[in-house]
Structure 1
Amino acid sequence: MTGYEPHGTGTPLVLVPGLAATGRFFAPVAGELAAGHRVVTVELPRHGPATVRRAAQELADVVDRLDLRGAVLLGWSLGATVAYEYLDRFGAGRISALVSVEQSPRLTVGPGWPHAAFGGLDPAGVERLRTTALTDPAAFADSLVRGSFAAGTEPDEALVAELTAEALRWSPEACATLFADAAGLDFRAGLAAVTVPTLLVHGARSRVYPTDVGRWLAGTVPGAELRVFADSGHLPFVEQPDDFVRTVTDFIARSVSHA
């Protein structure tokens, strides 16, 4: 069962972390966001074989169990992929808005598609990463965390160690199977049919998504707003937490009806 932790009152704001991440990654912003919203941090399945479909089903179970209505769905990285799957499968009946943070609708390169993870992830790269996640989870976690900070920066080693320890709470099998499953999916057509207000948050110095995928998304998702954080990589809520809270809070205030 997917874990979840609610805080605060107001418009429900569901936070979905990414691959090899836990709700602890959102710690720099969760408290501030909970000052005006009912923040529900959802944990993705971290044990056994994991798929995007399973994660979306467990997310739906949490939304239903808490009877959330008019919720804002905020997914970061692979958590955004899970949010895309949720909307595709379950619709927007309980969702009032989407915040997609640092994600691409397709993780691998293809004809006419330059916005793959790391700028050029191909099937061979997927297999290498999947194998590393299984055989050397410590190296996989350390590389994933370090590579998430903005290009050209030296992250605080204590923070790297803390986030890497969180990443190692995932079983190698769950990490490998969820990544491989996500790498085979393509949400480009589905995102073109999204009907809820959407905010796209990207880091200008991201090494995970170094291409201008945010602009592609802004031109594809109907009415989407794009915010690029100049000093962030793949972790804008860690690298520019005050700006992140302000951006998300303002978007919700403008986009979600409180009637």
Structure 2
Amino acid sequence: MHIANLDDIRLHHRIDGDPDGAPVVFSNSLGTDLRLWDQIIPLLPKGLKFIRYDMRGHGLSDCPPAPYGMGALVSDVEKLMDHLGVRDAVFVGLSIGGMIAQGLAAKRLDLIRALVLSNTGARIGNRDMWQDRIDAVRAGGIEALSEATLQRWFSAAFRASDAFNGWRNMLIRQPVEGYIGCSAAISGTDFMTTTAALRLPTLGIAGSEDGSTPPDLVRETLDLIPGAEFALIRGAGHLPCVEQPEAYARILTDFITRQGHATL
């Protein structure tokens, strides 16, 4: 267990792979922790350094009072990467993690050499939608909206599996204040103009059954970045790295290798 003390926040993070390898940083989705990537890491090329972390209000990281701003979430991982001495990383962000990735690339291009925007958008939903969710969680906890959330997250086939129960438990056991804080950050974020100014190798990944960030939203975001690539994983929902880890890892490996970040 690694805890980085970053002045105003302590972030739980994990490092796997080759400690001297080229870095790949992962940023997870709202309502999950760094275990989101457990099935992916062993399938990626050897010789890389894999860095995962729990964003504020999630997992074993600190949980300050809500609301949070997207700027704080971006600053958190910026400080973590500086703390770890990481530069020129391939940055993989899923959902809110993909929004954090866009903000970090705009702020500190020295930290990122290539971007993977998975199941995300430059703008996700609207303020009224997020306020309704925040109010529901305040009134009844995360479990009050868990059923609807999990239907958006996972395909019907996966929801019928035993593994699904673990992900449901992960969601409802996240700190309420952290869930609300990050929901507020998403609510207040519109990166359409910011992301349109990015100029770096970018891959977008979508799941055909994603009810939270549908493929068209991911495509709309990628269209803002010249030369960005798009990959669709059929039969998967909002967390394709969970439902179809082999397909996800193949797509990610191909992209990482083509950036000269790893050799097979």
- TM-score interval, normalised by the smaller of the two chains: 0.7 to 0.9
Query: Who is 2:92 aligned against?
Result: 74
1:8 touches 1:34 (CA, 8 Å); kept in 2?
Answer: no
Secondary structure at the counterpart of residue 212 of structure 1: helix
CA deviation string 1:182-208 (max 9, x = no partner) = 112111111111122100001112111
Query: Who is 1:6 aligned against?
Result: 15
Question: What percent of counterpart residues are identical?
Answer: 23
Query: Who is 2:134 aligned against?
Result: 130
Q: CA deviation at 1:157?
A: 4.7
Task: Give the one of 220, 230, 233 matched to 2:234.
Answer: 230
Query: Who is 2:153 aligned against?
Result: 148
Secondary structure at the counterpart of residue 98 of structure 1: strand
CA deviation string 1:22-66 (max 9, x = no partner) = 011211212223634211011100112233222211101111111
Query: Who is 1:31 aligned against?
Result: 42
Q: 1:191-202 alignment to 2 at 5 Å?
A: 191-202=195-206
Tell me, in whole angstroms, the C-alpha distance in 1 between the residues paired with 2:246 and 2:175: 32
Q: Structure 1: 5+ residue runs without aligned partners?
A: 109-121
- Provide TM-score, normalisation by structure 1: 0.86
Tell me, in whole angstroms, the C-alpha distance in 2 between the residues paired with 1:170 and 1:124: 23
Secondary structure at the counterpart of residue 177 of structure 1: helix
Task: Give the one of 241, 249, 256 matched to 1:252.
Answer: 256
Q: Structure 2: 5+ residue runs without aligned partners?
A: 1-9, 58-62
Which residue identity is paired with 1:51?
Answer: G
CA deviation string 1:115-166 (max 9, x = no partner) = xxxxxxx43322210112222222334542342013x435245323212222
Q: CA deviation at 1:244?
A: 0.8
CA deviation string 1:190-239 (max 9, x = no partner) = 11111221000011121112351232233211211100111211111112
- Provide TM-score, normalisation by structure 2: 0.85
Tell me, in whole angstroms, the C-alpha distance in 1 between the residues paired with 2:244 and 2:173: 25
State whether structure 2 residue 190 is matched by structure 1 residue 189: no
Q: CA deviation at 1:177?
A: 2.2
Q: CA deviation at 1:98?
A: 0.5
Tell me, in whole angstroms, the C-alpha distance in 1 between the residues paired with 2:129 and 2:243: 27
Tell me, in whole angstroms, the C-alpha distance in 2 between the residues paired with 1:230 and 1:32: 19
Q: Would the alpha carbon gap of residues 234 and 162 (structure 1) be closer, same or farther in structure 2, given more than 3 Å must change?
A: same
Query: Who is 2:55 aligned against?
Result: 44
Tell me, in whole angstroms, the C-alpha distance in 2 between the residues paired with 1:12 and 1:211: 28
Query: Who is 1:119 aligned against?
Result: none
Tell me, in whole angstroms, the C-alpha distance in 1 between the residues paired with 2:201 and 2:49: 19
Tell me, in whole angstroms, the C-alpha distance in 1 between the residues paired with 2:169 and 2:45: 25
RMSD, aligned CA = 2.0
Secondary structure at the counterpart of residue 224 of structure 2: coil
Which residue identity is paired with 2:92?
Answer: L
Q: Which runs of 4+ in 1 moved over 4 A?
A: none
Task: Give the one of 78, 88, 109 matched to 1:60.
Answer: 78
Tell me, in whole angstroms, the C-alpha distance in 1 between the residues paired with 2:216 and 2:98: 17
Q: Would the alpha carbon gap of residues 39 and 257 (structure 1) be closer, same or farther in structure 2, given more than 3 Å must change?
A: closer
Q: Would the alpha carbon gap of residues 92 and 7 (structure 1) be closer, same or farther in structure 2, given more than 3 Å must change?
A: same
State whether structure 2 residue 115 is matched by structure 1 residue 98: yes
Tell me, in whole angstroms, the C-alpha distance in 2 between the residues paired with 1:99 and 1:154: 24
Q: CA deviation at 1:78?
A: 0.6
